């Protein structure tokens, strides 16, 4: 069964560097059978993956080593029956006030486990932005 994973992190790079990340990611994610979405706000990233657990683990090994962001915090890891971003090796979504607020709410939570309602709202917002393109 496919897995899914969502993390938030602190952005440490420019728009141009994000462009490079997205270009490399679309090729590599497709080759691993992984789909998902990346959101960048001015100060944060949120990224959602779904696909074979081994593919997601391979990507996360690279992503954890990458110094273009820091403070990587896995907020959700689950199995999934139905992909939400099929057809998207990596949808890229720029900043929006609504989404930035949700990322901060999840990143700055007081408990180890985020509120499932906040996670669902963030993933649904990512889907809506991706489908609007
Ligand atoms: C916020 C962020 C998201 C990233 N997302 C992906 C991704 O979805 N897929 C990917 O292949 N690389 C992604 N990368 C880039 C990887 O960290 C890494 O540079 C790239 O996969 C090359 O892997 P390697 O350094 O192990 O050769 C991301 C980097 C950052 C900072």
- Cα 95 to ligand 1 centre (Å): 19
Provide the pLDDT for residue 133. 59
Provide the pLDDT for residue 62. 98
Residue 27 CA, closest ligand 1 atom number: 11
Average pLDDT over residues 44-50: 97
Q: Is the CB of 17 under 6 A from ligand 1?
A: no
- Its pTM stands at 0.95
Q: Is the CB of 45 under 6 A from ligand 1?
A: yes
Query: 58, 69, 67: which is closest to 5 by C-alpha?
Result: 58
In the 8-state DSSP scheme, what is residue 81?
A: S
Domains of the chain: residue spans and CATH: 2-131 (3.30.70.100)
Lookup result for tokens 């990224």: 47
Query: 47, 24, 45: which is closest to 37 by C-alpha?
Result: 47
Tens-digit pLDDT profile for residues 15-33? 999 999 999 999 999 999 9
Q: Is the CB of 28 under 6 A from ligand 1?
A: yes
Tens-digit pLDDT profile for residues 74-115? 999 999 999 999 999 999 998 888 888 999 999 999 999 999
Give the Cα separation of 125 and 98 in Å (integer). 9
Query: Ligand 1: which of 8, 9, 20, 24 to mutate, most ligand atoms within 8 Å of CB?
Result: 24
């Amino acid at each position: 069964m496919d897995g899914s994973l969502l993390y938030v992190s602190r952005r440490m790079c420019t728009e141009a560097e994000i462009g490079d990340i997205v270009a490399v990611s679309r090729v590599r994610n497709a080759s691993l059978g992984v789909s998902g979405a990346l959101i960048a706000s001015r100060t944060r990233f949120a990224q959602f993956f779904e696909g074979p657990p081994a593919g997601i683990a391979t990507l996360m090994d690279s992503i954890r080593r990458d110094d273009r962001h820091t403070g990587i915090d896995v907020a959700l890891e689950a199995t999934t029956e139905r992909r939400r971003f099929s057809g998207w090796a990596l949808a890229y979504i720029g900043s929006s006030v609504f989404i930035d607020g949700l990322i901060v709410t999840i990143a700055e939570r007081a408990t180890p486990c985020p509120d499932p309602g906040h996670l669902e709202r963030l993933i649904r917002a990512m889907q809506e932005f991706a489908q609007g393109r």
